[in-house]
Chains A and B, each alone.
Chain A
Amino acid sequence: MAARLVFLGRLEDLAGTGELAVPPGPLEQVLAALDPALAVELLGERVRMALNGALLGDAGAVVLAEGDELAFLPPVSGG
């Protein structure tokens, strides 16, 4: 089983997919394996991250385990 990245909003267009299965491990390592242009967008200061549905304050120390879902959330616009 792998971990899963979820791309919301415009990030889905940039990634070309809404979800991506990745090998578990430190976030740094997971991002290093992606297209660098996408990784830069994912780390943008307006993009927030949520691990298994809970917002992360500091993403620096994230290590993805098997079955984890890490979502990248650009600024929202509802209503």
Chain B
Amino acid sequence: MADVRLLGDAFSAADELAAFTAAHPHAGGLVSFLGQVRREEGPHAVEALELKHYAAMTLPGMAALAAATEARWRLDGLLILHRYGVMHPGDPIVLVAAAARHRRDAFAAADFAMDHLKSQSWFWKREKTAKGWRWIEPRPDDHRDLARW
């Protein structure tokens, strides 16, 4: 059973991973991905990032993605955490972890879940720079990443 959460407040990736690891002692391998708000310098630096979600669809969509991931690879456990709200450089945005008996399943499952979170989950992102807030459109790369699967 996957652990899927949509979070409005900051979380500790280290604490979450420690708990996930402890919960899956029979897994031979754990793969995790942590996405965080990039810290930049200069006039175009991002000062803050905001992710909006839609209650009717975002968490149900994440749960469906977790189910699809678990159906495709043999996993002992799957963790998908995603923030919404306003974040600042250094804040964690997303944490995906997969635990499996064999490492290839864990690598592939985490990769698959991340590609779909990036480009197919119901989140809308805007960034604040010195010039103000700006909505971010998906990059062509995000769609190319999806085509891998």
Set of chain B residues within 8 Å of A8, measured between Cβ atoms: 52, 54, 122, 124
Check B119 against A76 for contact (C-beta < 8 Å). yes
Check A78 against B125 for contact (C-beta < 8 Å). yes
Check A50 against B118 for contact (C-beta < 8 Å). no
Do A71 and B121 contact each other (CB < 8 Å), given the known contacts A77-B137, A79-B35? no
Set of chain A residues within 8 Å of B51, measured between Cβ atoms: 78
Set of chain B residues within 8 Å of A9, measured between Cβ atoms: 52, 124, 126, 135
Q: With A and B bound together, what is the CA distance between A79 and B123 in angstroms? A: 8
Q: Which of B56, B82, B117, B123 contacts A50 (CB 8 A)?
A: B56
Set of chain B residues within 8 Å of A50, measured between Cβ atoms: 54, 56-57
Question: In the complex, what's the smallest C-beta–C-beta distance from A44 to chain B, in angstroms?
Answer: 12
Question: In the complex, what's the smallest C-beta–C-beta distance from A28 to chain B, in angstroms?
Answer: 23
Q: With A and B bound together, what is the CA distance between A8 and B138 in angstroms? A: 15
Closest B residue to A52 by CB, please name it: B56
How many A-B residue contacts, CB cutoff 8 Å? 66
Set of chain A residues within 8 Å of B52, measured between Cβ atoms: 8-9, 12
Check B121 against A75 for contact (C-beta < 8 Å). no
Question: A9, A10, A71, A78: which has the most chain B beta carbons within 10 Å?
Answer: A78
Check B121 against A78 for contact (C-beta < 8 Å). yes
Check A69 against B56 for contact (C-beta < 8 Å). yes
1/0 per residue, CB under 8 A from B, across A30-53: the answer is: 000000000000000000001011
Q: Which of A6, A52, A74, A78 contacts B117 (CB 8 A)?
A: A78
Pairs A-B, 7 closest by C-beta atoms: A9-B124, A78-B123, A53-B56, A79-B118, A10-B135, A77-B125, A78-B121
Since A8-B54, A74-B124, A78-B119 are in contact, a sample of 11 more A-B pairs with Cβ atoms closer than 8 Å, ordered by chain A residue number, is: A9-B135, A10-B135, A53-B60, A71-B54, A77-B118, A77-B125, A78-B122, A79-B94, A79-B117, A79-B121, A79-B123
